[in-house]
Amino acid sequence: MKCRKCGQKAAINMRHHKLALCKEHYLEWLPEQTARFIKKYRMFTPQERVLVAVSGGKDSLSLWDILWRLGYQADGLYIALGIDEGIAYSAESQRLCEAFAEARGLTLHIVDIAREYGASIPELARSDRRGKGKPCSVCGLVKRHEMNRIARDLGYDVLATGHNLDDEAAVLFGNTLNWQVEYLLRQGPVLPESPGLARKVKPLCRFYEREMAAYALLRGIQYIYDECPFAIGATSIYYKEMLNQLEAKRPGAKLSFYLSFLRAKEEGLFAPQEDVQQALDACPRCGQLTSAPGLCAFCRLIERASSEAKGAVRG
Ligand code: AMP
Ligand code: FES
Ligand code: ZN
Ligand code: ZN
C-alpha cells in the first residue's frame, strides 16, 4: 500500500475514506481534518479560550496536541479520581498528563477529588446506592460537574473532550436502542452554552479510535494504555464490540451511522418539543443548573458522603 500524496510506503490505510497515507502525510492530514470539523460545526474560534479535559489516554492527549499545533488557545484539565486500587491508574495518568504539558510548555490545571471533597471516586461510590458498588455513574457525575465548574470559574469559553467516533457511535447505539429522545437531542459535536455552563465540543467525533491510536503512536505521544479498571464489562464496551463486527463487514458503517444521525437531526428529526424541555433551577450550593428541586445530584452525593464520614467518626 502506497501513500496517496507521495507514493512512499503507507503507514495507515483508511478503507472507509479509500485513503492510504505515509507517516508524514498522516500527521498533517489528521490536524487539517480536525481544523475543518472545528469550523464546520462552529466549535470555537482562535480568539476563544479552550479547556481540554485530558484523561492521560490517547484521544484527549492527541486532541490537546492537535489544538496546540493548530494555534488554538488550549489549556488542559486533569481530574484526579483516586482510582489506584490494584493498578496505579490515576497516578500514572496524571504523571503522563503532567509530562505532556511540561514538554510543550502548556498550562495544566489539576483537580484532586479526594483533596477537594474529602473522598476519592471509589470512596464516594460506596456511599451511593445507585451504582451497586461500581463507581462509573458516580465518576461520570463528578467529572461532568468538575469540568463545568473549572471552565466557569476560570472563564473558559469552551470545554473540549476527546470522544472519538467509536465512543459516539456506541452512545448513539445505546440511545437509539432505548429511544432516549432527550439524550439524542443533546448528542452531537457541539452542546451550546447555557447560563453558567461553557459550550462543550468533541472535535475528534469523526475519527475512528484506530485513527486516533495511529496518530498518538506516530506522533510519539506517551499515553496510558490501560482502560479504567472499572470499565471491564461495561455496556458501552459491548456496544463497541458489536459495532466493530458490523464495521468489519461494512467498512464505514460506524461513520455513516453517526453522520446520518447528525443529518437527520439537522433535518428536524428529534426537534425539541415544548413539553420535553425541562425547567432548570440553579443548585443553591454550587450554582450549576439542575432539574431536581434543592441541591443538585453532585452536591447531594458530597453531602451524603461527608455525613457518613462524620457518622463513622462518631460511631
Ligand atoms: P471517558 O468517559 O473515560 O471515555 O472519557 C471521555 C473524555 O472525557 C476523555 O476523552 C477526556 O476528554 C475526558 N476525561 C476522562 N477522564 C478524565 C479525567 N480524569 N480528567 C479530565 N478529563 C477526563
Ligand atoms: Fe471513572 Fe472508570 S469509573 S474512569
Ligand atoms: Zn506521503
Ligand atoms: Zn450543586
Q: Label residue 205 by pLDDT band (50, 70, 90).
A: very high
Does residue 47 sit in helix, strand or coil? coil
As a whole number of Å, the CA-based R_g of the chain is 20
End-to-end CA distance of the chain: 69
Q: Is the Cβ–Cβ distance between 77 and 113 less than 8 Å?
A: no
Q: Is the Cβ–Cβ distance between 97 and 107 less than 8 Å?
A: no
Please tell me the pTM assigned to this model.
0.95
Q: Name residue, grid cell 437509539.
A: 176
| Average pLDDT, rounded, for the chain | 93
Query: Which of 217-226, 272-281, 306-315 is predicted most confidently?
Result: 217-226
Q: Among 271, 296, 270, which Cα is nearest to 285's?
A: 296
| Cell matching residue 209 | 479510535
Domains and CATH numbers, the chain: 44-275 (3.40.50.620), 278-315 (no CATH)
- CA 192 / ligand 3 centre spacing (Å): 38
Does residue 7 sit in helix, strand or coil? coil
Neighbours of 288 (CB within 10 A): 20
Phi, psi (rounded to 5 degrees) for 165: -60, -40
When pLDDT is averaged across residues 79-97 and rounded to a whole number, the result is 94
Question: Does residue 228's CB lie within 6 angstroms of at least one atom of ligand 2?
Answer: yes
H/E stretch holding 289:
strand 289-290
pLDDT tens per residue across span 94-116: 999 999 999 999 999 999 999 99
For residue 312, how far is the Cα from the chain centroid?
35
Q: Give the number of whichever ligand sits closest to the CA of residue 144.
A: 1
Q: Is the Cβ–Cβ distance between 208 and 166 less than 8 Å?
A: yes
Q: Give the number of whichever ligand sits closest to the CA of residue 79.
A: 1
- CA 294 / ligand 4 centre spacing (Å): 9
> 50, 51, 52, 55: which to mutate for ligand 1, most atoms within 8 A of CB?
55
